[in-house]
Amino acid sequence: MANVNLKINNIPVSVPEGTTILEAARLAHVTIPTLCYLKDVNCVGSCRMCLVEATGARGLVAACVYPVAEGMEVKTNTEKCKKSRKMTLELLLSKHKKECLACERAGNCELQRLSTEYNCDPQYFETDPNLDHPIDFSAPYVVRDRDKCINCTRCVAACNKQHVGAIGPIGRGYSAHIGSAFGMDLMASVCVGCGQCIVACPVGALRERTTVDDVWAAIADPSKKVVFFTAPSVRATLGEAFGLPVGTNVEGKMVAAIRRLGDVEVFNMDITADLTILEEANELIARIQNGGTLPMFTSCCPGWVKYVEQKHPEMIPHLSTCKSPQEMFGGLLKTYYCEKNGIDPKDLYVVSVIPCTAKKYECTRPEMNGEVDNAITTRELARMIKTAGIDFADLPDEKFDDPFATCSGGGTIFGATGGVMEAALRVAAKTLDGEFEVVDFPEVRGTAPIKEATYKVAGKEIRVAVASGLMNAEEIIKGVQDGSRRYDFIEIMACPGGCVNGGGQPTLPDSIRNTVNLKDLRAAALYTSDKENSIRLSSESPVIETIYKEYFGAPNSEKAHEVLHTHYHADKRI
């Protein structure tokens, strides 16, 4: 492909043909403001913030969609550009609920930042008197505030990219807004709770339904014993909320910070990631050896499970019966841990720290018996740490509390797409063939939408696939149903890139999201931790060995099924 030569603010730059002005500007180290644009999610040129002057064009053009041309000269910061952007912002502010002091996105809002940079007058245009729409609190995981929405459509694009389509544009002109079909509440829609709309939203129109006040109340209650446990990916993302580089592993500081919230214990959810692997790998082996339903799909992602229940109930028999690591830990704590320590389960308050808003919904499922009392996102934990006045960056590294501290590397990589598959393959291969020495399975690593591999173990071929993002999951399902894709075991994660890119992770500005590969850097922190761990197989964790010896007996035992397994059911929406 031929290169195109142009100038941006008099800076020469050469880019491949078909490159947009916005992309070319980055190569020239020129920043053009955007609101609706989000790399790999939305590129429609509708917000008009990226308007620039370009030779050969009539008037201002949207840099995010306008292609470069040979000899083009682009001006990004002329008075005409700045005046247009300022007017656009002031018009947006006239239809925006300006509650910045009380908004969860205060200080981390793209509209707020740009309005400050362009010295906007928030009252230049009269505020829309109809900004009194009810806030949608119907779902236990996402809150939608229409009066803060700026109609950028990034949430719509993220939802459509997930092949869900729970929200979309409604109406035209001045009355246009984002909502669910037929004006229904979010909980009544086909939303699966993945939260990708939240991390895509540049303002505070979408947020998780926070439950931190309940956690604070439990910590203050002398009749409650409070325990926290943290999901594998949280250690790779929490630091971003405190200005640390993307991909920094803050496991030790995270544990130290949670301890300083009050009289609590801090456990490692990687333990039940290991437990999930033992149960899931043995379930897979049993299905292969006994003619069970194949291929078997993983069931540790509640957004994916909800998607199957709503859109493909015929595939429910293919789901593993294993609970997610979150719910396994809840069950383990309310049974084994309470019995061992003489605690009444009703006096134990269990808090999970998770990268995912769908986990909030999972806690409310009747099948889970309320074993996790509260699930808070990485963002919510960060807010609790800040509220407590804890200087996160200066904290010492501390270790998780026993007896749930030591995990395998296989449990840690659960947070990245392909991690569940790799951890399960390690155990399944060792179980089927004691001489099998391969520990790393690089074919299932990385952020490719769909990954496939075939391994020969104990004389038998095991065909596997990994997909992240529900649009890619849909492709896998169709292939399985029409016979074009043949596998034994399939890992699915609802969020692109896996839990490291979950809907509960820190909300980062466009300047980072559009230029930094978040998924790769965050996952790299987990794989480094795995490599440095002396225990690589979940089956070799001394904690897991103790749990089976003292309580469950063996994987897939009757007791294990009672506490660690569940069932799923059809949930037809619209």
Known catalytic residues are 280, 283, 300, 320, 359, 362, 367, 499
Residues with Cβ within 8 Å of 329's Cβ and at least 6 positions away in sequence, in order, are 229, 267, 269, 271, 272, 350, 352, 372, 404
Phi, psi dihedrals of residue 34, rounded to the nearest 5°: -140, 160
Mark residue 119 as left, alpha or beta (left: phi above 0; alpha: psi -120 to 50; beta: remaining).
Answer: left
Write out the two tokens for 159: 């939802």
Instruction: Determine the Cα–Cα distance for residues 490 and 18; give it in Å rounded to an integer.
Output: 37
Rg (CA), the chain: 25
Residues with Cβ within 8 Å of 427's Cβ and at least 6 positions away in sequence, in order, are 277, 278, 281, 410, 537, 538, 539
Phi, psi dihedrals of residue 308, rounded to the nearest 5°: -65, -45
Write out the two tokens for 365: 């499922």
Instruction: Determine the Cα–Cα distance for residues 364 and 415; give it in Å rounded to an integer.
Output: 22
**Helix count and strand count (H, E) for the chain:** 20, 17
Q: Are strands 374-377 and 11-16 parallel, antiparallel or unpaired?
A: unpaired
Please report where in the chains the tokens 């456990």 appear, as a residue: 267
* Count of CA atoms in the C-beta half-sphere (13 A) of 356: 31
Short-list 117, 186, 113, 111, CA closest to 146: 186
Please report where in the chains the tokens 């939608």 appear, as a residue: 144
Instruction: Determine the Cα–Cα distance for residues 564 and 80; give it in Å rounded to an integer.
Output: 63
177-185 own/partner pairs: CB under 8 Å, 24+ apart: 177/146, 177/149, 177/151, 178/146, 178/149, 178/151, 178/153, 178/205, 179/146, 181/574, 182/574, 184/574, 185/136, 185/138, 185/139
